[in-house]
Chain A
């Protein structure tokens, strides 16, 4: 009998965590799935407008229904689900410190998988100027107000951002009687693809590209926002500011541990099996890089769950990891490191993102030898996929080169 609480602890019950837990059960492993919220689903719980489940379950679910489907599947697989469990710390000895309503406990397992997802950057992390009144919130917060409490934080917000989630924010507002006064995007281009980017204008919401907030006004609640566009200042009356997108991994557990996070992805560095710098700790889903769809996270979780199952019975893979390096304006590459290993990889492709809209030639070099290249116009917040060559883990030097072209 093992004295451990489980073979694998999964921290975070969103799509990737649940998928990994189910896969691990299929491989005969004892799994405890921890989530700090009262129910599984992660960010999908408050997303009332986005369809989830097509890839993994062959049909579409919205909001809480998807979380319920995940719960049914996890229960069916025999996963030990523990909601209302907040993981406070990844301890040096490989255990995790948890606090729940009744109190504090330590849980131990052979392997730990962190699937804590991502969140939008708040006002503070964006260093936005102005007063600090009530009513400056993110899409996730707005949707939580509505989905869980039937409340609204404002009625006439200014929307900041033009990612896919920004359009979801517009929909959320309009379907609940809030009327956005305008939508602004600091870049010259919308980040969402063209047909979707036209949506605000179709709904009669002014959409200003190349516009940024220079002042938020309001003593207690937001009263107005001053924006700058083309060197001109304009003050818009509104009662809230809705900050959309700029997702960042919810990677605090790593950030606060000795493992730290990757400066590019802001998530933990993982190898081609999803294994972090500590060979007992794994990570999957949007904690690795912000932000992918629920379906993507589910498949990633399943693949890494399988990799963890394969990892049992061996000593933890402790080879010296080779970092995957890259040129600007590449923002991140996942997996961030490679290890020599006999196991099949969970990642078959590198996932890249760029910092800004840029035209140029992207190439992958192994020990100085170019093995892949592509030219094009690369957009921020869109995934770029590059096959991981089978011999890449044998290389001493793995580098993504970028040459800008006019």
Chain B
């Protein structure tokens, strides 16, 4: 629950929005030696766009050439690969196939290959349908050709940002949740009025994702962009599907969208999605039966062995797209403000790059900080199947969630961690409890008992006087 900020304390940087980008920016500025506060209106990190994505660590092979997005995806990916051991973060080195299912699509592959090489992804290989199917026999025999992109990998999309913020907190950063920005005024120093009290800061970084334009307005700016949410629905297939999908299967993109991806997850499932549906609403991200049925059917067209595979989970997320394709980065040196906006679909890959970029932009209008003498390593709890899980280690207490093999020790540890879960979604993302094929048939009641008084919305209702 939000603590009251101490009055009079001035932060070097206030970051608004604890999505993956906000968490990465908090880490980068903390590493640089800044006194950081990260404010979030939700009950937990990753409450908006960042909670739903396809978990791919992109190479940038298909990013717009020469774009800031390309530069930052590459920088972000590079840093992820460098820090993942010290933060204990997973990397599933699947590689990807961009699959052409007809002659028209196959014609486009050569152009995509050229673009990949221009973008610095030089290890791509054009494959015939037969070659690709020899390497991955589960692909449909309708496959005409494929572009192999070995560097596309899968990561845990929730543990990574948690690790970034945890490291920032270890360096002294403060994470304030349940704090919605109402209004910000700048008179040489930023005064941020939030639902959790006033915060003083020397500079602000807007990483508010779906509310990027709203936050700029509340900071007194005329926003340079407008968020146009784009919904993506996903289906997660049973772990039994994983043996049929060893790689990321990408479609040949159209003008409108990157299209439906079929890929493994770090947790041993198979993910199908996302759709791309424009909408005005920034809050509701519904799933829809017909769309989900179409996703399930599409997966079986691509990998026939997926037909009839049980569905484990569903989700939908909103991407903070704007009226333009590219990232919408604005710096206002006179007001000591940076906006990282319109990070519509590659934020997980580029977050660390965006954070480096923000620090550079900040250096243009502010004095450099003194970096801390020591940087703590963070042993992020591992949830990925490619590394040892807690249930494999002695003295884990007991299994609480049987489908995902989540131990009592893991659940207890997350609540005593520096960034504990704020809501049930946060608990699920940190431990995978209730994320498996039974979706809580067996463990939901136990979790209700174990999380009493600890979550913003409790699982059980208050039964005082009720029985």
Residues of A at under 8 Å CB distance from B? Answer: 36, 84, 86, 88, 99-104, 119-120, 122-125, 127-132, 134, 137-138, 140-141, 144-145, 148-155, 176-177, 215, 219-221, 239, 248, 250, 252, 255-256, 260, 263, 266
Q: Which of B312, B444, B457 has the most CB of A within 10 A?
A: B444
> What separation, in Å, do the CA atoms of A140 and B314 have in the docked complex?
21
A124 contacts B311, CB within 8 Å? Answer: yes
Given A99-B392, A219-B283, A220-B423: A149 in contact with B438 (beta carbons within 8 A): no
Does B365 make an interface contact (CB < 8 A)?
A: no
> Which residue of the partner chain, among B238, B313, B442, contacts A144 with CB atoms under 8 Å?
B442
Does B16 make an interface contact (CB < 8 A)?
A: no
A122 contacts B440, CB within 8 Å? Answer: yes
Whole-angstrom distance between the Cβ of A252 and the nearest chain B Cβ: 6
> What separation, in Å, do the CA atoms of A252 and B437 have in the docked complex?
9
A127 contacts B394, CB within 8 Å? Answer: no
Does B77 make an interface contact (CB < 8 A)?
A: no
A99 contacts B391, CB within 8 Å? Answer: yes
Does B111 make an interface contact (CB < 8 A)?
A: no
Nearest chain-A residue to B310 (Cβ)? A125
For B451-467 the 0/1 string (1 means CB < 8 A from A) is 00000110111010011
> What separation, in Å, do the CA atoms of A145 and B450 have in the docked complex?
12
Whole-angstrom distance between the Cβ of A302 and the nearest chain B Cβ: 26
B394 contacts A86, CB within 8 Å? Answer: no
> What separation, in Å, do the CA atoms of A261 and B396 have in the docked complex?
31
A239 contacts B461, CB within 8 Å? Answer: yes
With a CB–CB cut-off of 8 A, which chain B residues contact A119? Answer: 438, 441-442
Whole-angstrom distance between the Cβ of A149 and the nearest chain B Cβ: 4
A127 contacts B391, CB within 8 Å? Answer: no
Residues of B at under 8 Å CB distance from A? Answer: 236, 238-240, 283-289, 292-293, 296, 308, 310-316, 391-399, 402-403, 405, 423-424, 437-442, 444-446, 448-449, 456-457, 459-461, 463, 466-467
Given A134-B459, A252-B437: A127 in contact with B445 (beta carbons within 8 A): no
Apart from A101-B395, A219-B283, list 19 A-B contacts with CB within 8 A: A102-B395, A103-B394, A119-B438, A119-B442, A122-B440, A124-B311, A127-B289, A127-B293, A128-B287, A129-B289, A130-B287, A137-B444, A141-B441, A141-B444, A145-B445, A150-B463, A152-B466, A177-B463, A255-B240
B284 contacts A151, CB within 8 Å? Answer: no
> What separation, in Å, do the CA atoms of A154 and B439 have in the docked complex?
17
With a CB–CB cut-off of 8 A, which chain B residues contact A132? Answer: 287, 314-316
Given A122-B441, A127-B292, A252-B437: A155 in contact with B461 (beta carbons within 8 A): yes
With a CB–CB cut-off of 8 A, which chain A residues contact B283? Answer: 219
Whole-angstrom distance between the Cβ of A132 and the nearest chain B Cβ: 7
A124 contacts B460, CB within 8 Å? Answer: no
B287 contacts A140, CB within 8 Å? Answer: no
With a CB–CB cut-off of 8 A, which chain B residues contact A101? Answer: 395-398
Given A36-B402, A141-B445, A151-B445: A124 in contact with B288 (beta carbons within 8 A): no
> Which residue of the partner chain, among B240, B293, B391, B395, contacts A88 with CB atoms under 8 Å?
B391
A250 contacts B240, CB within 8 Å? Answer: no
> What separation, in Å, do the CA atoms of A165 and B467 have in the docked complex?
22
With a CB–CB cut-off of 8 A, which chain A residues contact B402? Answer: 36, 86
With a CB–CB cut-off of 8 A, which chain B residues contact A250? Answer: 438
With a CB–CB cut-off of 8 A, which chain B residues contact A100? Answer: 398
Given A131-B286, A141-B440, A255-B310: A176 in contact with B394 (beta carbons within 8 A): no
Whole-angstrom distance between the Cβ of B261 and the nearest chain A Cβ: 19
A149 contacts B310, CB within 8 Å? Answer: no
> What separation, in Å, do the CA atoms of A125 and B235 have in the docked complex?
10
A125 contacts B460, CB within 8 Å? Answer: no
Q: Which of A128, A134, A137, A155 has the most CB of B within 10 A?
A: A134
Given A144-B442, A177-B466: A153 in contact with B392 (beta carbons within 8 A): no
Provide 21 A-B residue pairs closer than 8 Å at the C-beta atoms, listed in order of the A residue.
A36-B402, A88-B391, A101-B396, A101-B398, A104-B392, A122-B439, A123-B439, A124-B236, A124-B313, A127-B293, A128-B287, A132-B316, A137-B444, A144-B442, A149-B448, A151-B445, A151-B463, A152-B467, A155-B466, A248-B310, A255-B238
Main SS of the interface on chain B? loop
A120 contacts B441, CB within 8 Å? Answer: yes
With a CB–CB cut-off of 8 A, which chain B residues contact A154? Answer: 461
B441 contacts A138, CB within 8 Å? Answer: yes
B445 contacts A99, CB within 8 Å? Answer: no
B467 contacts A151, CB within 8 Å? Answer: no
> Which residue of the partner chain, among B285, B288, B446, B456, contacts A148 with CB atoms under 8 Å?
B446
> What separation, in Å, do the CA atoms of A294 and B399 have in the docked complex?
25
Whole-angstrom distance between the Cβ of B297 and the nearest chain A Cβ: 11
With a CB–CB cut-off of 8 A, which chain B residues contact A129? Answer: 286-289
Whole-angstrom distance between the Cβ of B400 and the nearest chain A Cβ: 10
A220 contacts B456, CB within 8 Å? Answer: yes
With a CB–CB cut-off of 8 A, which chain A residues contact B313? Answer: 124
B391 contacts A104, CB within 8 Å? Answer: yes
Listed from nearest, the 4 A-B pairs whose CB atoms lie closest are A122-B439, A144-B445, A151-B460, A103-B394
Whole-angstrom distance between the Cβ of B181 and the nearest chain A Cβ: 19
With a CB–CB cut-off of 8 A, which chain A residues contact B392? Answer: 99, 104
Whole-angstrom distance between the Cβ of B243 and the nearest chain A Cβ: 9
Whole-angstrom distance between the Cβ of B294 and the nearest chain A Cβ: 10
Nearest chain-B residue to A239 (Cβ)? B461
> What separation, in Å, do the CA atoms of A146 and B285 have in the docked complex?
31
> What separation, in Å, do the CA atoms of A215 and B289 have in the docked complex?
9
B441 contacts A153, CB within 8 Å? Answer: no
> What separation, in Å, do the CA atoms of A279 and B463 have in the docked complex?
51
> What separation, in Å, do the CA atoms of A123 and B457 have in the docked complex?
20
Given A86-B402, A127-B293, A149-B449: A103 in contact with B461 (beta carbons within 8 A): no
A149 contacts B391, CB within 8 Å? Answer: no
> Which residue of the partner chain, among B393, B405, B448, contacts A151 with CB atoms under 8 Å?
B448
A220 contacts B457, CB within 8 Å? Answer: yes
> What separation, in Å, do the CA atoms of A32 and B440 have in the docked complex?
27
B448 contacts A153, CB within 8 Å? Answer: yes
> What separation, in Å, do the CA atoms of A131 and B402 have in the docked complex?
25
With a CB–CB cut-off of 8 A, which chain B residues contact A134? Answer: 424, 457, 459
Whole-angstrom distance between the Cβ of B162 and the nearest chain A Cβ: 21
Q: Which of A138, A141, A154, A215 has the most CB of B within 10 A?
A: A141
> What separation, in Å, do the CA atoms of A268 and B201 have in the docked complex?
62
> Which residue of the partner chain, among B314, B424, B463, contacts A124 with CB atoms under 8 Å?
B314
Q: Which of B285, B315, B399 has the most CB of A within 10 A?
A: B399
B399 contacts A86, CB within 8 Å? Answer: yes
Given A99-B405, A155-B466, A220-B423: A145 in contact with B238 (beta carbons within 8 A): no
With a CB–CB cut-off of 8 A, which chain A residues contact B296? Answer: 127
With a CB–CB cut-off of 8 A, which chain B residues contact A260? Answer: 240
> Which residue of the partner chain, among B239, B292, B463, contacts A256 with CB atoms under 8 Å?
B239
B405 contacts A153, CB within 8 Å? Answer: no
> What separation, in Å, do the CA atoms of A150 and B460 have in the docked complex?
10
B444 contacts A152, CB within 8 Å? Answer: no
> What separation, in Å, do the CA atoms of A154 and B444 have in the docked complex?
13
B403 contacts A221, CB within 8 Å? Answer: no
With a CB–CB cut-off of 8 A, which chain B residues contact A266? Answer: 310
Whole-angstrom distance between the Cβ of A13 and the nearest chain B Cβ: 14
Nearest chain-B residue to A145 (Cβ)? B445
Q: Which of A128, A144, A148, A239 has the most CB of B within 10 A?
A: A144
> What separation, in Å, do the CA atoms of A125 and B449 have in the docked complex?
25
A252 contacts B405, CB within 8 Å? Answer: no
Q: Which of B288, B314, B393 has the most CB of A within 10 A?
A: B314
